């Protein structure tokens, strides 16, 4: 009986230690990897900020490494020239029958080694791969308040972009190239459409603060023009989402034709380029 009691006590102690260890591991993992936010918009913002920080650190490391290699190449080149000059001078001095001094035997190998080092460092600096740019697009802007010009379009843009972001991981597991194209297109188009929403918010403030003035009337007319552009972009995003959904509905998504997706990607890219050109023209006007 006493032996059984000791066995039970040992089992309870071992079980308690195992449970405490599991809690400690869970706490450590939770501290190292904070829980993901439940809101899709917040998840997009968190991933975008994370990739931006990692890209900034990688770019800084890349630039520091390239600078060190170039500096090393410059120092090695100067050393090779100086050592080569010393060796050449000693060699010329020995042409009349004299023997080579120690300066030649020191300078010649030093020049060769420094020259090889300079060439290797310069080649490494040229061949060093730059960090890959981030692929996570910025989160969509928050929808404009109800009653503001463009409120419906901004809300539609928010919904479509969140749905597209949630769909991309599924597409990536079936058709990686298509997922890369969709993510790249979203990354390039998102800032331009976000800028339209921001301009609508600014114009709405102008209308509210200067109600009844010519400036308010001008702001209202400008807001309507921007709303039309935003509606066009939202429609293209909707088409991009539909093309992705059509690909998923195919019997074999990995071999599904991507013609509709290619057309939509090109149209959205052209639309984004048009916004950039219009913004640049307005800036220099």
- Is residue 107 within 8 A of residue 29, CB to CB? The reply is no
Q: Is the pTM of this model over 0.75?
A: no
Give the pLDDT score at 243: 85
> What is the 8-class DSSP label of residue 207?
H
- Is residue 151 within 8 A of residue 172, CB to CB? The reply is no
Give the pLDDT score at 40: 78
Give the pLDDT score at 193: 93
Q: 216: closest CA among 228, 199, 224, 204? A: 204
* Residue matched to tokens 């960090």: 131
Give the pLDDT score at 151: 94
- Is residue 232 within 8 A of residue 215, CB to CB? The reply is no
Give the pLDDT score at 97: 57
DSSP string, 130-198: PPPPP-PPPPPPPPPPTTSTTHHHHHHHHHHHHHHHHHHHHHHHH-HHHHHHHHHHHHHHHHHHHHHHH
Give the pLDDT score at 232: 93
Q: 121: closest CA among 66, 71, 73, 62? A: 73
Divide the 285 residues of the chain into consecutive groups of 10 and give the mean pLDDT of each group: 51 55 51 64 85 91 92 91 82 65 78 90 90 85 91 94 88 82 89 93 91 89 93 92 81 64 84 79 55
Give the pLDDT score at 161: 92
> Torsions phi, psi of 57, nearest 5?
-65, -45
Give the pLDDT score at 2: 47
Q: 142: closest CA among 61, 66, 267, 44? A: 44
Give the pLDDT score at 182: 87
Give the pLDDT score at 270: 87
């Amino acid at each position: 009986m006493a032996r059984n009691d000791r066995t039970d006590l040992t089992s309870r102690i071992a079980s308690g230690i195992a449970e405490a260890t599991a809690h400690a591991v869970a706490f450590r993992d939770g501290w190292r990897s904070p829980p993901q936010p439940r809101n899709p918009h917040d998840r997009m913002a968190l991933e975008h900020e994370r990739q931006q920080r990692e890209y900034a650190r990688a770019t800084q490391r890349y630039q520091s490494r390239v600078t060190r290699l170039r500096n090393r190449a410059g120092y090695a080149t100067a050393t090779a020239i100086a050592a080569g000059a010393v060796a050449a001078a000693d060699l010329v001095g020995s042409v009349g029958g004299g023997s080579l001094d120690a300066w030649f035997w020191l300078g010649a190998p030093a020049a060769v080694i420094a020259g090889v080092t300079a060439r290797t460092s310069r080649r490494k600096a040229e061949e060093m791969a730059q960090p890959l740019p981030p692929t996570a697009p910025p989160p969509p802007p928050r929808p404009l308040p109800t009653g503001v010009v463009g409120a419906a379009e901004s809300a539609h843009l928010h919904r479509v972009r969140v749905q597209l972001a949630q769909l991309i991981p599924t597409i990536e597991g079936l058709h990686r190239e298509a997922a890369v194209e969709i993510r790249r297109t979203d990354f390039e188009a998102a800032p331009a459409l976000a800028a339209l929403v921001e301009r609508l918010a600014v114009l709405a403030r102008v209308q509210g603060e200067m109600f009844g003035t010519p400036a308010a009337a001008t702001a209202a007319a400008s807001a309507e023009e921007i709303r039309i552009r935003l509606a066009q972009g939202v429609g293209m995003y909707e088409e991009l989402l539909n093309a992705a959904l059509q690909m998923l509905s195919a019997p074999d998504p990995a071999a599904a034709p991507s013609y509709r997706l290619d057309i939509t990607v090109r149209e959205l890219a052209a639309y984004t380029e048009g916004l950039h050109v219009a913004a640049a023209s307005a800036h220099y006007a």
